[in-house]
Structure 1
Amino acid sequence: MTNVLDRIGDVSASLVDLYKDLHAHPELSFAEHRTAGIVADRLRDLGFEVHSGVGGTGVVGVLRNGSNLRNTSSLRNSSSLRNSSGATVLLRADMDALPVEEVTGLDYASTERGTDKEGNDVPIMHACGHDMHVVALLGAARILSETVDSWSGTLEVLFQPAEELGAGAQAMVDDGLYDRIPKPDVVLGQHVAPAPAGIVGLHSGAAFAAADSMLVRMFGRGGHGSRPETTIDPIVMAASAVMRLQTVVSREIAGSDIGVLTVGQFHAGTKNNIIADHAEFGLSIRTVNPEVRARVLDAVHRIVRAEAQASGALREPELIAQESFPVLINDGAACDRVSAAFRGVFGEHGVIDPGPVTGSEDVGILADAAGAPLVYWLLGGADPEAYLKAATAGTVEEDIASNHSPRYAPVIQPTLDNGITALTTAALEWLS
């Protein structure tokens, strides 16, 4: 292990320019063509068998090194798997960016624009850190490909499209992912977070929430702004629905249950003195318990329809389901094993249990389709000194940008070193 990890500093330093390049050239979901091409070329140079175009723009590299084991019964017994002749390990990173205009002020900040799935021209930014995920996994792939005398088994490195839509993992599975590569014995991955760099966070069991996105359209009767009595104002109708929806979590689910309901967009009208015909808004729901999920979704439908009726709408509202993510479940035994390995590298205080988080991830689909356990952790990406200063002042929320913020960008070092270290360490737990 020491011989392998000793190489990380040099490998990480060689990837800084690539990280800046990917950050400056982000791509939207299912449009990650440039990123996928760079990834495929680098994996071929490292000696991986490369599968491109999986699920659209997905890339998978396979490196077979010695004997391989696929034994689901021993998989559940960590001691048996530890003594085996080598497992199949899948390491995953996502590649897509977001329609966000970057305001970080970095000299490698994105100025890219693109077309979203609705056909709108939008700015593009790696506001969720997927560029860091890609480069860290490429670093781990290089480290492991150059130290094949230190492990045995099959290494699979998967670069997934469209995580932000909750669609990329399923697209790769549906496109015959596991007909192209062996089913893994374990799926491992990480997500950079606004915690201090040097911290990794793992939670056993339900670790990331399920997510449901929905577009709501409410219909009124348009007219002149000077004569509202001749209209049915859809903005008032929709605004009332938005406000009433804020009571769902606070009044319809127990305080001990996890639930978040966010309205992230609202669109209506074209001019100040025109009452529009319709208004629409988009919302995101996060839950962990299936019964809570059903209750919240039912409440959304009930409230939207009731507000339309109360306003005298002549047409029923439309509630259109969009992105959906399942609950991410970390396997208990596998999570314990990775946690122990991380403590040996990052120290006792460098490994925390963050509890369930209300963010969502679709990586669990890859594990479920393979019948394999999943271990997915958070990787601190904030400057440690800046975080400590903000924590001391009580200004973390103001001073430390979070994922999806136009100000978000992880500090390159030591985040990249730690990301490569975490992936390599976790993989070697299974690659005997």
Structure 2
Amino acid sequence: MLTQIGIAAAFGDNSEEPLTVDQLSHRPNVDVLRSIIDKYRPDLAVYEEFYRQVHQDPEVSGMELNTAAVVARHLRKLEFEVHTGIGGHGVAAVFHNGQGKTILMRAELDALPILEETDLPYKSTKRMVDRYGNERPVMHACGHDMNMASLLGTSALLKAAAREWSGTLVIIFQPDEEETGGAQAMVDDGLYTKVPVPDIMLGQHVVPSKSGTVAIRSGPVLVAADSANVRITGGPCPGVNPQQCVDPIPVAIKIISQLEYEVRKDVGPHEDFTVACWGFHAGIPGNDYVAYAEFSLDIKTVKHTVREMAHQTIKRSIIDGCAAAKTPREPVVNFTVRAPLTTNDPSVSEAVGRVFAGYFEANAVEMRFTRACEDFSTLGKKHSVPYAYWNFGGSQATEGPVPTNHSPFFAPAIQPTLQTGTNAMALAALSFLVM
């Protein structure tokens, strides 16, 4: 999902309430954490094989039945308390290990409707029917297979090291992240009636930067994203040839082409936002008029005030454009939230950043703010749970173009990527569990 670079010397600001000084008054020595990681790291060959298996058998958003079952089997072997079928195919596992903080760690289950074009011996050649009834090629083009393998490796490490720490682990494997609905679905389906509410949440994502690196920062790290679904009505008008009536296709095209300009006029030249058309449908072959044109917009913002203003401007521009064209009906404009702004809590991310700097040294770098979006923070929104979200690198390429997330060529190097992801998540959790 993201890009990354250089360590956490300059952390940004955040409007969320940080953890109290008392909660973070004691942090374990990095050498202590290093000894735990080195002593209890599991045989990662098990999770390398898991990675290959899931990479070869991906499932699109909302259809992750087999992936969830494989994950649940691994967690049961570790003797976690496992809950399945939450918010669709979501999996949650709990390990109680005495008094201490409750730490939630999350990975994603779903793949993308993309035809894989790598030359891997375990490449996906799978096709499946998605929840909309469309047959699609499927590929783990975002790297959720590596995120899952790393979190399972971390779960095994922490379980083996139980005598070294105290607290509770909550392990979440979330469905439907790519369409950003799975986190809310899990919460709505009673996630916190099955597992305890966490004190801290941790999330990470593999990206196409140097394998072996980790990247974190405080403050905003991923944009907020909203969708707008629009219908502009045309159609026949009384006593006139239908083709002489309002054609909604050119009306819609004209409106779409001007939206970003109209929003920019209102929010100012220096604010960060984008408005893009994601889909367009109009007309049926054989009809001599077009009844309506429908299109979808993707709106990404960083500031709440800009988000609100963008929504108002987009709706007004669509209504005014239809009025000027004299469409027979007012347009229908519906906004929905795809993902909130992902903003790392300073107290959590700075604590994790210090541990990363001590353990990974030169391979601990500063995370860039990117235009990717995520629904990870939704898991803790109702309870205002502070969190940290970071990247770990998966590319061994040293020159030339590197395939990005969502590319048909995206293929993280299994090692040292898997070990880095396993170590990073375990280090982050232990930094709040070892006292």
The separation in 1 between residues aligned to 2:116 and 2:287, in whole angstroms, is 33
Deviations 1:303-343 (A, max 9, x none): 22223233332222222334522222211111110000111
- Pick from 210, 235, 258 the counterpart of residue 196 of structure 1: 210
The answer to whether structure 1 residue 93 and structure 2 residue 121 are counterparts is: no
Distance 1:166 1:350 in 2: 28
- Report the Cα distance in structure 1 between the residues aligned to 2:67 and 2:403, rounded to whole angstroms: 25
Secondary structure of the corresponding residue to residue 298 of structure 1: helix
Residue type of the alignment partner of 2:55: H
Name the counterpart of 2:162: 148
Aligned to 2:382: 369
Question: Secondary structure of 1:42's partner?
Answer: helix
1:410 aligns with 2:412: yes
State which drifts further: 109-118 or 199-208.
109-118
> Which of 144, 149, 156 is equivalent to 1:130?
144
Look up the match of 1:254. 268
Q: In the alignment, which of 210, 227, 230 is matched to residue 213 of structure 1?
A: 227
Determine which structure has greater relative contact order: mean sequence separation of CA pairs < 8 Å that are 6+ residues apart, divided by chain length.
Answer: 2
Change (3 A) 1:13 1:161: same
Does the 8 Å contact 1:165/1:323 carry over to 2?
A: no
1:317 aligns with 2:331: yes
Q: Quick check: 2:114–2:138 contact (8 Å CA) kept in 1? A: yes
CA separation in 2, counterparts of 1:228 and 1:119? 33
Partner residue, 1:389:
399
Matched residue SS, 1:425: helix
Larger helix percent? 1
Amino acid at match of 1:414: P
**Corresponding position: 1:287 with 2:289:** no
* SS in structure 2 of the partner of residue 347 of structure 1: helix
TM-score where L is the length of structure 2? 0.84
Deviations 1:49-86 (A, max 9, x none): 11112222111111122x22xxxxxxxxxxxxxxxxx3
Q: Is 2:135 aligned against 1:121? A: yes
In structure 2, distance between residues paired with 1:156 and 1:229: 61
Map 1:29-428 → 2, pairs under 5 A: 29-65=61-97, 67-68=98-99, 86-221=100-235, 230-248=244-262, 250-271=264-285, 276-354=290-368, 356-383=369-396, 386=397, 388-390=398-400, 399-428=401-430
In the TM superposition, what is the alpha-carbon distance from 1:271 to its structure 2 partner?
4.7
Distance 1:270 1:41, change over 3 A: same
Q: Name the CA distance, whole Å, in 2 between partners of 1:19 and 1:150.
A: 28
Residue 229 of structure 1 and its aligned partner are, at CA, apart by: 5.6
Contact conserved, 1:8 with 1:420, CA < 8 A, in 2? no
Q: Secondary structure at the match of 1:410?
A: coil
Offset from partner CA, 1:342-361 (integer Å, 9 cap, x none)? 1112214522131x322211
- 2:21 maps to none
Tell me the TM-score normalized by structure 1.
Answer: 0.85
Question: 2-side partners of 1:9 and 1:291: how far apart?
Answer: 46
Count of aligned positions? 399
Larger CA deviation: 418-427 vs 238-247: 238-247
Distance across 2 between alignment mates of 1:131 and 1:123: 16
Q: Give me the whole-angstrom Cα distance separating, in 1, the residues matched to 2:351 and 2:309.
A: 36
Partner amino acid for 1:215? N
The Cα shift of 1:32 comes to 1.2
Percent of pairs identical after alignment? 40
Once the two structures are superposed, residues 145-175 of structure 1 have per-residue CA deviations (whole angstroms, 9 ceiling, x without a partner) of 1222222221121111112232211222222
User: What amino acid is aligned across from residue 277 of structure 1 in structure 2?
Assistant: A
Task: Label 1:138 to 1:344 Cα distance change in 2 as closer, same or farther (>3 A).
Answer: same
Aligned partner of 2:86: which letter? Answer: V
Partner Cα separation in structure 2 for residue 421 and residue 197 of structure 1: 13
Q: Distance in 2 between matches of 1:22 and 1:326?
A: 28
Q: Distance in 1 between matches of 2:123 and 2:319?
A: 43
The alpha-carbon distance between structure 1 residues 195 and 255, as it changes in their structure 2 partners (threshold 3 A), is: farther
Which residue identity is paired with 1:350? Answer: A
Return the alpha-carbon distance in structure 1 between the equivalents of residues 193 and 357 of structure 2. Answer: 36
Q: Secondary structure at the match of 1:339?
A: helix
Whole-angstrom distance in 1 between the partners of 2:279 and 2:196? 42
Residues 367, 390 of structure 2: 8 Å contact kept: no
Structure 1 residue 232: Cα displacement: 2.9
Measure the CA separation in 1 of the matches of 2:123 and 2:202.
Answer: 29
Deviation at 1:429, TM superposition (A): 0.3
Cα offset, 1:275, TM superposition: 5.7
